[in-house]
């Protein structure tokens, strides 16, 4: 099997890429990843150089791994600034590094895509060896596999990569709720009242909440959404790297996999939340508003999503990174993973020691957060 690197995903046909397993996740589809490149969101000038791994055999494309050479650690949500600082203190270069991830997207999913029928274990071993070869050939400090699925995380660890544990807050449709009220009935009385109050505040504000799929969102609505997204990023001191063209592209090419919860008043869209979905998971991504309306953020970003999952039989809702305030709204602490290849034996040993000490602290944090479950005793504590 031959390995190669491509720095322009448009050189690979979307049919060939999307035939691989794992591309049922919208962020891993050719349309999404290539769209980041063609609409100017991912460029070497801003520290993101596409470096996708391809494995081919006699039958064609056997496996692929999205990848990027990074000149910094922004936009990853697995924080390794201390590792970079340690390299610098020892007179060594940490950047550029190789990451296998979806840019700006801390969503759990496959990181190795493979052709149906190909042995997954073999695909993992070959992909890891190809990644290590890139690190060696380009004299990179490291390779990082961010937010792999649990099964792929275990397979990556089995090849000798170091595992790091993180925490997000996810909602689970475990009992298969009949409707939103059925979900509320599993919560404590205090939390039910609080959620009802927040939803009532949004309704009484005069804002009409509308949910649209990507193929029904107008170009003007995308322009308004980009303004909302950019405003929120600027308010938090961040740079909004996604372009209006990218959002329009996603709506046109991913269609019903894209959802927008819009808040309208007096003929004006004053707030919106953008989400993506596949058959199993709903992913919350971006939120923005032109004015603060009581309860609207929670309605658009959380409650509309939960209701959508229940209605459409979706099992999991990942609303984004971090946020302990999500617990009281039904989202429970959930372990996430990343896997790391550090070729320098000295730093590999030091980072392994750091992870040995960090992991129990993260696990204790998850356990402590579970103690604040909004569910009645016996629910939500599995």
**217: phi then psi, degrees, rounded to nearest 5:** -85, 130
* pLDDT higher than 90, residue 379: no
CB 209 within 8 A of CB 299: yes
Q: What is the mean pLDDT of the chain?
A: 96
Q: What is the mean pLDDT of residues 209-222?
A: 97
With the C-alpha atoms ordered 245, 246, 247, 250, is the resulting torsion angle positive or negative?
positive
* pLDDT higher than 80, residue 377: no
Exposure class string for 299-322: b at 16+ Cβ within 10 A, else e: bbbbbbbbbbbbeeebebbbbbbe
How many whole angstroms separate alpha carbon 132 and alpha carbon 42?
23
Tokens of 169: 């807050």
**Weakest-pLDDT range from 12-16, 112-116, 170-174, 319-323:** 319-323
Q: What does each C-alpha distance from 306 to 177, 178, 257, 267 come to in angstroms?
A: 10, 12, 16, 26
Q: What is the pLDDT of residue 322?
A: 81
Q: What is the mean pLDDT of residues 59-84?
A: 96
Work out the pLDDT band at 308, boundaries 50, 70, 90. Answer: very high
Domains of the chain: residue spans and CATH = 2-167+334-370 (3.40.630.30), 175-314 (3.40.630.30)
Contacts of 14 (CB under 8 A, 6+ apart): 29, 30, 31, 34
Q: What pTM, to 2 d.p., does this model score?
A: 0.95
Q: What is the pLDDT of residue 380?
A: 45
Q: What is the pLDDT of residue 381?
A: 39
pLDDT in tens, 226-262: 999 999 999 999 999 999 999 999 999 999 999 999 9
Work out the pLDDT band at 382, boundaries 50, 70, 90. Answer: very low
Work out the pLDDT band at 120, boundaries 50, 70, 90. Answer: confident
pLDDT in tens, 140-195: 999 999 999 999 999 999 999 999 999 999 999 988 999 999 999 999 999 999 99
The candidate with the shortest Cα–Cα distance to 242, out of 96, 48, 12, 101, is: 48
* pLDDT higher than 60, residue 365: yes
* pLDDT higher than 90, residue 1: no
How many whole angstroms separate alpha carbon 315 and alpha carbon 280?
5
Widest Cα–Cα separation across the chain: 63
């Amino acid at each position: 099997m031959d390995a190669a690197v491509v720095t322009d995903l448009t050189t690979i046909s979307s049919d060939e890429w999307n035939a691989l397993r794992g591309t049922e996740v919208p962020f891993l589809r050719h349309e999404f990843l290539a769209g980041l490149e063609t609409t100017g969101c991912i460029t070497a000038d801003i520290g993101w150089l596409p470096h996708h791994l391809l494995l081919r055999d006699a039958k064609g494309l056997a496996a692929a791994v999205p990848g990027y050479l990074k000149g910094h650690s922004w936009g990853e949500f697995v924080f390794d600034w201390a590792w970079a600082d340690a390299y610098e203190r020892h007179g060594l270069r940490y950047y550029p590094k190789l990451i296998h991830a979806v840019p700006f997207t801390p969503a759990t999913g496959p990181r190795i895509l493979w052709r149906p029928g190909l042995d997954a274990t073999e695909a993992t071993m070959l992909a890891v060896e190809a990644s290590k070869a890139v690190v060696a050939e380009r004299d990179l400090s490291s390779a990082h596999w961010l937010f792999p699925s649990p099964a792929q995380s275990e397979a990556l660890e089995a090849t000798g990569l170091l595992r790091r544990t993180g925490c997000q807050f996810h909602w689970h449709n475990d009992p298969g709720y009949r409707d939103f009220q059925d979900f509320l009935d599993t919560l404590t009385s205090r939390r039910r009242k609080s959620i009802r109050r927040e939803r009532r505040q949004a309704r009484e504000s005069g804002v009409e909440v509308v949910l649209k799929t990507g193929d029904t969102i107008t170009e003007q609505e995308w322009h308004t959404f980009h303004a909302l997204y950019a405003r929120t990023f600027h308010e938090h001191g961040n740079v909004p790297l996604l372009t209006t063209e990218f959002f329009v592209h996603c709506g046109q090419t991913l269609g019903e996999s894209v959802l927008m919860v819009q808040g309208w008043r007096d003929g004006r869209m004053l707030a919106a939340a953008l989400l993506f979905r596949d058959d199993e998971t709903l992913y919350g991504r971006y939120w923005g508003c032109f004015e603060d309306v009581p309860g609207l953020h929670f309605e658009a970003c959380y409650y509309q999503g939960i209701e959508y999952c229940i209605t459409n039989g979706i099992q999991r809702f990942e609303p984004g990174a971090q946020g302990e305030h999500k617990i009281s709204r039904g989202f429970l602490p959930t372990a996430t993973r990343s896997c790391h290849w550090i070729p320098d034996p000295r730093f590999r040993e030091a980072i392994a020691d750091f992870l040995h000490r960090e992991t129990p602290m993260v696990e204790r944090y998850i356990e402590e957060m579970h103690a604040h479950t909004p569910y009645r005793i016996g629910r939500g504590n599995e």
